[in-house]
Chain A
Amino acid sequence: MLAIAAALIAVRSAAQQELMLYQTSDLWHAHAANPALFPKDKRLFVGGPTIGLDATHSGNIAYNDLLRREDGRAILDLGGAIGKLELENTLRLDQRNERLLLGARLGGWYLSAGWSQRTTATATYPRALAELLWYGNGPYVGQVLDIGPAISTVRWEELSAGLARNIGQNLRLGIRLKYLSGTAMLLSDAERYRIRVYTEPDVYQLSLQTDYAFYSSSLIGAVDTSGFGYDLSFNALRNRLGQNSGIGFDAGLQLQLGERLSLSVSALDLGGRIAWRKNTAYFHSQGTFNYNGVFLPGTDILNGTVDSLDFGAALDSLNDVLNFQKTDAELTTSLPARYYAAVQWQLLKNWRIGAVVHHQRDERRQNTAVGFSGHWTPIPWLTVGAMYSINDRSATNVGLSATVRIGPLQAFALSDNALNAVTPYRSAAVNFRLGAALVF
């Protein structure tokens, strides 16, 4: 649960939003979702940093369920959240910090370049883990608690260069090559994620079985379990640009069918892989620890030769079980590919409606969302939009967007789930994006 809180706190700075962003095609930042999308009739595009968030937690867990403010202090309180947890819970996080996004039109050609920082993370954890940590093992005597989480977290810097071209009057094709430089990675071994705790109802004999392993680059440098505790060394080694690298592709098209109808399709992060070779290690803990208390030979008791009941000494072996063996490793991680298909219909001069389908898939997660949008431009410098969307966790998402154009400036705020966007601390799914660009 600390992880959840930490994640939610951390992603306040930026995020990627895809459904509403994709349908707000007159924004320059929509180009991030489809390399074939460029604002109409413009030649030069300068995108600034964006701030956004796209994070969800299964069930109905919200930030405020975990954290609260009290006398200026941040208080982590899992008491309310645990009751809302499901047996197995998933935290998803996708983060895209657009640092700079440039574009230019040269006749029928379009050029683009960008620099962004991206994170994709999934953590699946059992409720038992939160319960054990929050309430102790006392309430769970006699229950086997499997508490090993499955974690997949990758952060990378992305440098891109794109090229698009009009094919005829109605079709534009775009492609983008991306150079990926991994900065941090944490990936649990799908074959080794068992951490099992059992407290026997007899006299509370403890049993701990571990066969848990993870890969880490930069993020965790060492795990020290001496003294029955843990000591994680974070960020001991930082990955520099290019030390762990890979490439990926984006491709897209936009097809104008007549005056009013347009279709667009994009595929992002195709073939995206990062080879982790530097500062990458494999941590593995495997063992069984059974603690039955101090054993006293009966004859010692009878003879009164028990010098001392030393409760601490017998726990020494716990360190051996929990100890993580660290070995250097190399690993290639794949980025989750994402796909968009959308249609927009210019209903009236200042009304546009549309539909969009988004699909994301990788080894550990797969989700699909469908949205139906409408955009209204009541006055030349303002466009507002709304969207109803369905995704894997909710069928009642209402998105909103607002784009203000003042001269070359585009400023926007949008969300796939507007209610949550304005109350992010009370929502299990948070999605919004804020940003600005200059288009000429």
Chain B
Amino acid sequence: MTHKNTLRPLLWVFILSGALAACQKFSLDELEVAERTGEYAFPLFSTSIGLKDLVLKVLNDSLDSDTIVINPDQTMTLFYSGDVAEKPASDIFRFFNFPEVPVPINDTFYVYPFNTPDSVYIRRVEVASGTLNLVVNNARNQPITGTFHILQMSKNGQPFSIPFSVPARQTFISPPIPLKDYTLASDSNRLEFRYEAYLPDGTRIKIDDILPGIAGIGILIQGFTAAYMEGYWGYSEYPLTLDTIDIDINQTNLKGNVKVKNPKVTMTITNSWGFPTRGVVKYLSFIGRDGKEYPLKSSVFFGDSIDFNYPSWAAGEIGKTKETHVVLDSTNSNIAEIFNAQPVRLIYEVAGISNARKDPSIVGFLTDKSTIALRMKVELLLEGSAQDFGAEQTLGVNFGEFADFDTSRIEAVEFKIVTENNTPIGAALQLYFLDDDGRVLDSLFTGPPPFVIKAPSVNGNGITTSTARAETFAPMDVARFSQVRQAKSMLLRAAFTTAQNGQVPVKLLATQGIALRMGLKVRTRLGGKP
């Protein structure tokens, strides 16, 4: 047996004192040692568990370190986040959908209405990309010369124009003309095209139709994108996000009650759209463990909506991003009551309304990088209380030579468990010894599981002020011990209760932890006849 072997080497020093004589006349092998009761004490194992690791484990295996955040004061916050709903402006507002075929210009002055969403009036566009081709068909028997103009488009103060010269009976196609850095200025959501065409004798003409009703001049615009748009956004509603957030803390299959102090739901809107947007909460409800819906109501919302901050054209905030934080907590919502029902998920749907106030004086803008992003989080500072919050874990165990040791001479054993705990969580533990098939051979403690881990007292902030040491003894007769040492695994079942019997909220700090050690005393018959 190991403990015996530990001591055996010491025996030789005794022998030294009489070895001289022994070597001549005396054989140790002939001497029988009297039977007696000896007791050996030795350690079995030790471990330490950080509270952060414990929390991660108890809550859910799928949690990662991003979910739990260590705050500067070493408190820990659990974050459950929904997907980030990021909407570029182009997803909502579709402008300038130029046709893939040339736009016919039916007269020397032609008004082309460009496509804008309803209620949006664009007065200025800065082109980011795109090309323009001018196509002129000359059906006459003499050449034509002229110039094409887009009156609302200019670059560096120079209006856009394309001169053209088309031989008789031929078609002129201009090379692609880059539109980048051109500016469109219109207050009526339209472009005005004009051309002047002349015969060799100076007679101004209208380009003849190719066929009746099909203009002989047109432009093809491809790849058109705007770097900047400025105008007026009227009232318009559009969807932003629909998502679900799982609340893992309440999704364990464990028994017990956990009360979380001051849970929060935060909605963060990151907005670079340059016009007023109102968020409309179409749906915001927790689903309880009982499957019931618990609508989250808050005074933060005006009715069911809230205006998002936005970069203001008037304030010169083009290109900037504004954030809006909406915090729903116990001071402005019913979230605390909802968490009493241990919700398992949050479902939310949010829509946006542009210029909800329908203020025509507001000049808005969009850039090619403008987005609006909405992130919903459930934020749980690990401050709360728990009673009999259960967790369990299975550990492999191999008693090695202990398993084969002849226990016929063992009278009794006694396990000693020592814990040193500076977390505000105490625990009653029971250890079940399992055989190969997972059947329970025995348990470490008879009767109710004792409080092996005691929670130290906490101060007014719910933070522990000391380390609680607990010593627990588990005596076991030899019959039970013989069973136990055949175990192949151990099921550790713990029921956590926070300080002061779970009556006061406590804070869990990342630096806190529990040290657990176990030793064993074996009282055995020694010597005598084997």
Residues of chain A touching chain B, judged by Cβ–Cβ distance below 8 Å, are 1-7, 9-13, 73-79, 91, 93, 119, 121, 123, 125, 129-130, 132-139, 141, 147-149, 151, 153, 155, 184, 186, 188, 195, 197, 199, 202-206, 208, 212, 214, 219-220, 223, 225, 227-230, 232, 234-235, 291-299, 301-304, 306-312, 315, 318, 322
Known A132-B10, A149-B13, A195-B13; contact A121-B20, beta-carbon cutoff 8 A: yes
List of A residues within 8 angstroms of B31 by Cβ: 2, 5, 74-76
List of B residues within 8 angstroms of A308 by Cβ: 396-398
List of B residues within 8 angstroms of A76 by Cβ: 31-34
Contact with A2, one of B15, B40, B492, B522 (Cβ below 8 angstroms): B15
Would you call B101 an interface residue if the criterion is a C-beta within 8 Å of the partner chain's C-beta atoms?
Answer: no
Known A13-B25, A149-B13, A234-B23; contact A206-B6, beta-carbon cutoff 8 A: yes
List of B residues within 8 angstroms of A297 by Cβ: 47
Question: CB-nearest residue of chain B relative to A9?
Answer: B26
- Taking a contact as CB atoms under 8 Å apart, the answer to whether A293 and B519 are in contact is yes
- Taking a contact as CB atoms under 8 Å apart, the answer to whether B14 and A1 are in contact is yes
List of B residues within 8 angstroms of A74 by Cβ: 30-32
**26 pairs, A vs B, C-beta closer than 8 Å:** A5-B18, A6-B21, A7-B17, A10-B21, A10-B25, A91-B18, A129-B13, A135-B36, A136-B41, A138-B38, A139-B39, A151-B16, A186-B19, A199-B42, A203-B417, A212-B13, A230-B11, A234-B22, A293-B44, A295-B47, A296-B45, A296-B47, A301-B492, A304-B393, A309-B397, A315-B6
Nearest chain B CB to A267 CB, angstrom units: 26
Interface residues of B in 146-196 (CB under 8 A from A): none
- Taking a contact as CB atoms under 8 Å apart, the answer to whether B43 and A148 are in contact is no
List of A residues within 8 angstroms of B47 by Cβ: 295-298, 301
- Taking a contact as CB atoms under 8 Å apart, the answer to whether B40 and A136 are in contact is yes
Question: CB-nearest residue of chain B relative to A70?
Answer: B32
Question: Residue among B3, B23, B26, B40 with the most chain A CB within 10 A?
Answer: B23
Known A75-B34, A203-B43; contact A6-B19, beta-carbon cutoff 8 A: yes
Would you call B395 an interface residue if the criterion is a C-beta within 8 Å of the partner chain's C-beta atoms?
Answer: yes
Contact with A206, one of B19, B21, B30, B42 (Cβ below 8 angstroms): B42
- Taking a contact as CB atoms under 8 Å apart, the answer to whether B41 and A137 are in contact is yes
Contact with A205, one of B10, B12, B13, B43 (Cβ below 8 angstroms): B43
List of B residues within 8 angstroms of A303 by Cβ: 57
- Taking a contact as CB atoms under 8 Å apart, the answer to whether A136 and B38 are in contact is yes
List of A residues within 8 angstroms of B23 by Cβ: 184, 219, 234-235
Nearest chain A CB to B154 CB, angstrom units: 67
CA distance A227 to B5 in the complex (A): 8
3 closest A-B pairs by beta carbon, nearest first, are A138-B39, A10-B21, A3-B18
Would you call B49 an interface residue if the criterion is a C-beta within 8 Å of the partner chain's C-beta atoms?
Answer: yes
Would you call B480 an interface residue if the criterion is a C-beta within 8 Å of the partner chain's C-beta atoms?
Answer: no
List of B residues within 8 angstroms of A232 by Cβ: 12, 15, 19
Would you call B113 an interface residue if the criterion is a C-beta within 8 Å of the partner chain's C-beta atoms?
Answer: no
Known A74-B32, A186-B19, A309-B398; contact A292-B43, beta-carbon cutoff 8 A: yes
Would you call B50 an interface residue if the criterion is a C-beta within 8 Å of the partner chain's C-beta atoms?
Answer: yes
- Taking a contact as CB atoms under 8 Å apart, the answer to whether B41 and A204 are in contact is yes
- Taking a contact as CB atoms under 8 Å apart, the answer to whether B9 and A229 are in contact is yes
Known A135-B38, A298-B48, A301-B49; contact A3-B397, beta-carbon cutoff 8 A: no
CA distance A133 to B15 in the complex (A): 12
- Taking a contact as CB atoms under 8 Å apart, the answer to whether A228 and B17 are in contact is no
Question: CB-nearest residue of chain B relative to A200?
Answer: B43
- Taking a contact as CB atoms under 8 Å apart, the answer to whether A307 and B396 are in contact is yes
Nearest chain B CB to A96 CB, angstrom units: 14
List of B residues within 8 angstroms of A2 by Cβ: 11, 14-15, 18, 28, 31
Would you call B217 an interface residue if the criterion is a C-beta within 8 Å of the partner chain's C-beta atoms?
Answer: no
Nearest chain A CB to B189 CB, angstrom units: 62
Contact digits for B411-424, partner A, Cβ 8 Å, 1 yes 0 no: 00000111000000
Nearest chain A CB to B384 CB, angstrom units: 21
* 7 further A-B pairs in the complex, CB-CB below 8 A; given A133-B11, A232-B12: A75-B31, A129-B14, A136-B3, A208-B6, A234-B23, A301-B49, A302-B53
Nearest chain B CB to A35 CB, angstrom units: 27
Question: CB-nearest residue of chain B relative to A95?
Answer: B21
CA distance A230 to B47 in the complex (A): 32
Chain B interfacial residues counted at CB < 8 A: 72
Question: CB-nearest residue of chain B relative to A321?
Answer: B9
List of B residues within 8 angstroms of A136 by Cβ: 3, 7, 38-41, 526
CA distance A315 to B40 in the complex (A): 15
Name the segment of B103-111, B276-284, B399-407, B440-448 touching the other chain: B399-407
- Taking a contact as CB atoms under 8 Å apart, the answer to whether A296 and B46 are in contact is yes
Contact with B17, one of A12, A149, A184 (Cβ below 8 angstroms): A149
- Taking a contact as CB atoms under 8 Å apart, the answer to whether A203 and B12 are in contact is no
Would you call B8 an interface residue if the criterion is a C-beta within 8 Å of the partner chain's C-beta atoms?
Answer: yes
List of B residues within 8 angstroms of A129 by Cβ: 10, 13-14
Would you call B520 an interface residue if the criterion is a C-beta within 8 Å of the partner chain's C-beta atoms?
Answer: yes
Known A6-B21, A79-B34, A219-B23; contact A204-B520, beta-carbon cutoff 8 A: yes
Question: Residue among B30, B45, B396, B520 with the most chain A CB within 10 A?
Answer: B45
Known A129-B13, A135-B38, A295-B45; contact A230-B8, beta-carbon cutoff 8 A: yes
Known A138-B41, A204-B42; contact A219-B19, beta-carbon cutoff 8 A: yes
- Taking a contact as CB atoms under 8 Å apart, the answer to whether B16 and A188 are in contact is yes
CA distance A219 to B17 in the complex (A): 11
Would you call B2 an interface residue if the criterion is a C-beta within 8 Å of the partner chain's C-beta atoms?
Answer: yes
List of B residues within 8 angstroms of A302 by Cβ: 49, 53-54, 56-57, 393
- Taking a contact as CB atoms under 8 Å apart, the answer to whether B43 and A293 are in contact is yes
List of A residues within 8 angstroms of B49 by Cβ: 298-299, 301-302
CA distance A11 to B24 in the complex (A): 10
List of A residues within 8 angstroms of B54 by Cβ: 298, 302
- Taking a contact as CB atoms under 8 Å apart, the answer to whether A137 and B14 are in contact is no
Question: Residue among A121, A296, A298 with the most chain B CB within 10 A?
Answer: A298
List of B residues within 8 angstroms of A235 by Cβ: 23
Interface residues of B in 252-271 (CB under 8 A from A): none
List of B residues within 8 angstroms of A301 by Cβ: 47, 49, 393, 395, 492
